[in-house]
Chains A and B, each alone.
Chain A
């Protein structure tokens, strides 16, 4: 494996700061001096308290947003406009409700000019891969949350991305479905091996899935610590790996780093709450 972040699929944030101007005109810093490297083919999970700017890093890697300072490089090229070779899985489904499942999956190829028939054949293959054969002509609203997630995964992977950006993709699912989807994601990832930047607030999920877990501080977010996850691959069922002693050790270690940030973020939101109540 090519270890340089400039290889195909590598992601490198150097000194990235992102500021927003809120609708009221006040400036606000979402992330500050982020330095983060994802090697080609690496599965990197980003954990941090709510509102620390985790999602902002993803949108910058996708090219939907540009940094206020610093640079984001993907596959050795500075991100400028939509990143080539990237796919994004959103927290909420980004499926088009007016297109049947097969056409939703075929969107990527057909946007890139692949003839409709060929794009559909490819979509059919991907639906089979995610276990949804027979649901080609259903509309998204006719599927359960887990099935919709699978469609989203197929739609993201059909473009054969070199980087896969995932923004709390399973947080809207129930616990059992979530575990099954995590297993499926790992299997798909091991087949095609894109680099993954996976944002979550669930530390267990992060450790079970990733090669590397990055802890982000309470907003404005910056990298607090990085942990290499040396659990063997293939990992097997994520439900079982939680009882592995190495898993528990890693969990303890990372939780130490994460706890302070979560508490700080909570204290801050609690202060805002009491201030609001005081004002009211």
Chain B
């Protein structure tokens, strides 16, 4: 551009650049004070969280030991730790405890991947082709209205006690969550962006690749958190309904033998798995949505 216009920008920016220099010391102390306050707050919250944990665990243990809670039905923290330790050392009735965890993880992950992929593909297809959406709409609503857990019984009948029936149940649970978000995401793409891409020479496929999919991605990713939980639920419930291995079966067996510590122990392990999966998911999301404005750290360039 002309040197004139650039000079405009530069001279307009100069006074802005000088002001912070004069205020620098004040701003520094202010920032330091704010940081110190935030750090203190963080520590207080952490202390509170640890306190609540100790209160519950210690209270539970004390109640179990004094007989306020019957340890036969309610278990006890110590009992849970001992039970888990025993499983890890000696394994369960169906092989090592790690194998059970591995099987459930495998089912969840396979179901998650299959459900997400099919949900995105079908969601984008129906979002892009409105005729298809109108034709399929009522059928999807009917299937969605079914309590999908009962599908598990059918899948066990069809596919047997092995891995495939659990993967299918997890995938079906995940599919609907992802599908509805992908569909909505595709439908809510800014029409201007599509028009602009078309004028710039994009084919329909290029519009989908460069405009529709990335735009729908924030909707899809929002659904993945729920989908992740559903994939674990699908695998566990599938194992509950009939399996030869897996954490769901471990829980079912513990329940049948009135082993409260066993049920709680397996629950704890499932909770830890879900938490770490959630953590991985958050990292993944941060990477994929790196282009989005970060509200906590405004780095807009001022001026023209």
The chain A residues found within 8 Å of chain B, CB to CB, are 59, 62-64, 82-83, 86-88, 90, 92, 94, 96-100, 107-108, 111-112, 129-131, 135, 138-139, 141-144, 146-147, 150, 155, 159, 177, 180, 183-184, 187
Contact = CB atoms under 8 A, between A and B. Distances in A.
Interface string B167-211: 000000000000000000000001011011111111100100011
A94 B193 contact: yes
Contact of B199 (A82, A100, A144, A150): A82
Interface of B: 1-2, 5-6, 8-9, 190, 192-193, 195-203, 206, 210-211, 214-215, 217, 291-293, 299-304
A181 to B, nearest CB: 9
Nearest 10 interchain pairs by C-beta: A94-B196, A131-B1, A146-B304, A111-B201, A98-B291, A108-B200, A111-B202, A98-B214, A141-B293, A88-B199
A144 B200 contact: no
Contacts of B200: 87, 107-108, 111, 155, 159
A91 to B, nearest CB: 9
A166 to B, nearest CB: 12
A184 B202 CA distance: 27
Nearest to B201: A111
Contacts of B5: 131, 180, 183-184
Nearest to B300: A142
A107 B303 CA distance: 25
A90 B195 CA distance: 10
Nearest to A88: B199
A180 B201 contact: no
Given A90-B192, A142-B299, A147-B304, A184 B1 contact: yes
Contacts of A112: 201
A239 to B, nearest CB: 11
A131 B210 contact: no
B304 A177 contact: yes
B2 A180 contact: no
B190 to A, nearest CB: 8
Nearest to B289: A98
Contacts of B301: 135, 138, 142-144, 147
A97 B9 CA distance: 24
Given A64-B198, A130-B1, A155-B200, A144 B300 contact: yes
Count chain B CB atoms within 10 A of each CB in A97, A155, A177 and give the residue with the most: A97
Contacts of B199: 62-64, 82-83, 86-88
Contacts of A98: 214-215, 217, 291
A159 B201 contact: yes
A139 B299 CA distance: 11
